[in-house]
A = this chain, B = another copy of it.
Amino acid sequence: MAIDRRTLLGVGVAAASTALLGKTHAASEIPASRAKRLRRIATEEAWSIPEHIEALIGIGQTSWDNLDAMSWRPVTAASPLARRLVDIDERLRIMDQLGVDMHVLSLTSPGVQMFERAHAVAMAALANDRMAEIIRARPARFAGLASFAPQDPARAAKEIERCVTKLKLNGFIVNSHTNNEYLDLPKYWEIFEAAEALNAAIYIHPRCPADTMARPYSDYEMRAAIWGFQAEVGVHAVRLMLAGVFDRFPKLTVVLGHMGENVPFHLWRTDHWFERRRASYASKLLPSEIFKRNIMITTSGVEHGPALRYAIEVLGADRIMWAIDYPYEEMPPAVTFMNEVGISESDRAKVLHENAERVFHIEPA
């Protein structure tokens, strides 16, 4: 399909989006200033390698009574999802059409976290090597968040060091719980220690609710993006805050997708009850202090102006990065959203690229 590239750079975006998606967006008037070409760095972009896809499809074919296994059950090697996760050329074609400068790639959820320990360690290293090759070939178009196997915290810490010092990757991703455990347990803290020492952010990406909370999320196809994901990552994030992770690692940066997985909207109440029961918590830091110092959020999968404006008001525009969530979400609506949403031009630049450059050590264009 031929797309007038100019329209997707900020002028007449609503019409272009309609053409691409066959659905109508509100056709607001776009001020000339917004047509200015800002660099676009998308920060939660799923990717995979054939070996990983094959292993996840294998999990789907087991009778494992687990919500993530259920999610992979319908996927085959012939599924469009499987192709789009590995196809770099198709991804680049769409990026070019839309003026998306860079994808920060990450191994698709649940990463290596459903494999046994040795398999997980090996798969993470393989995927990280392949990711580094892609980035070396096109350093202006791709950056990458590396994987590690929380199943082996000591090896994970070593892989974190290798990925930063040798592979020059930009940060890390972990898909919430591992074997129903969260990273607040002290046995996992050497992972945070390594990441903090290397100034590498850790993105906590969703997977379905842990077995230990799965039952209410198991009906009505609600285990994933419609409701389960935010419950899983939200409880993980709150556990990290209350356990004192950010007291112990004051320079650690954690990233939450999907406009913060509902934690920001509840932040006043979380602060309030933290203050009322300070003595109960290992952390000495108010949750909102942690949010403004240690946590970044992204817009992945949430193209909602009121939610973005709320986040800017409560957390500050310095704490928010743009993300698409490709290929689970399509690129055009995410581009259109950032062109059209009513925020200041300086905030738009922070969200679209400046914060990602700072947090993920991406050279400014």
Chain B residues closer than 8 Å to A268, beta-carbon distance: 302-304, 307
Question: Which residues from B are CB-within-8-Å of A266?
Answer: 227, 230, 262
B243 and A235 within 8 A (CB): no
Taking A210-B215, A210-B216, A221-B281 as given, write out 11 further A-B residue pairs in contact, using a Cβ cutoff of 8 Å, ordered by the A residue number.
A213-B214, A213-B215, A216-B236, A217-B235, A226-B270, A226-B277, A227-B238, A230-B269, A231-B235, A265-B310, A272-B301
Q: Report the separation of the CA atoms of residues A224 and B298 in the bound assembly, to the nearest whole angstrom.
A: 27
Q: Distance (Å) between the CB of A56 and the closest chain B CB?
A: 20
Say how far A100's CB is from chain B's closest CB, in angstroms.
Answer: 20
| Residue interface bits A236-269, CB-to-B below 8 A is 1, else 0 | 1011001100000000000000110010111011
Which residue of chain B lies nearest to A232 when distances are taken between CB atoms in the complex?
B216
Chain A 272-289 per-residue mask, 1 if CB under 8 angstroms from chain B, else 0:
111001001110000000
The answer to whether A226 and B265 have CB atoms under 8 Å apart is no
Copies of this chain held together in the complex: 2
In the assembled complex, how far is the CB of residue A262 from the closest CB belonging to chain B, in whole angstroms? Answer: 4
Does A313 reach chain B (CB closer than 8 Å)? Answer: yes
- Tell me the bound Cα distance from A240 to B223 in angstroms: 15
Query: Which residue of A221, A259, A274 has the most chain B CB atoms within 10 A of its CB atom?
Result: A221
A222, A307, A313, most chain B CB atoms within 10 A: A222
Q: Which residues of B contact A332 (CB under 8 A)?
A: none
Scan A54-84; emit 1 where CB is below 8 A from any B CB, else 0.
Answer: 0000000000000000000000000000000
The CA of A177 and the CA of B277, in the complex, are separated in Å by 26
- How many chain A residues touch B (CB < 8 A): the figure is 54
Q: Are B242 and A222 in contact (CB under 8 A)?
A: yes
Residues of A within 8 A of B (CB): 177, 180, 182, 184, 209-210, 212-217, 219-222, 224-227, 230-231, 234-236, 238-239, 242-243, 258-259, 262, 264-266, 268-270, 272-274, 277, 280-282, 301-304, 306-307, 310, 313-314
Q: Provide a sorted-by-A list of 12 A–B residue pairs whose CB atoms are within 8 angstroms.
A: A182-B216, A212-B215, A213-B216, A219-B242, A220-B239, A222-B235, A224-B273, A226-B274, A230-B269, A231-B234, A265-B265, A268-B304
Query: Is the CB–CB distance between A242 and B220 below 8 Å?
Result: yes
Given contacts A213-B215, A220-B239, A235-B216, contact A306 B301 (CB under 8 A): no
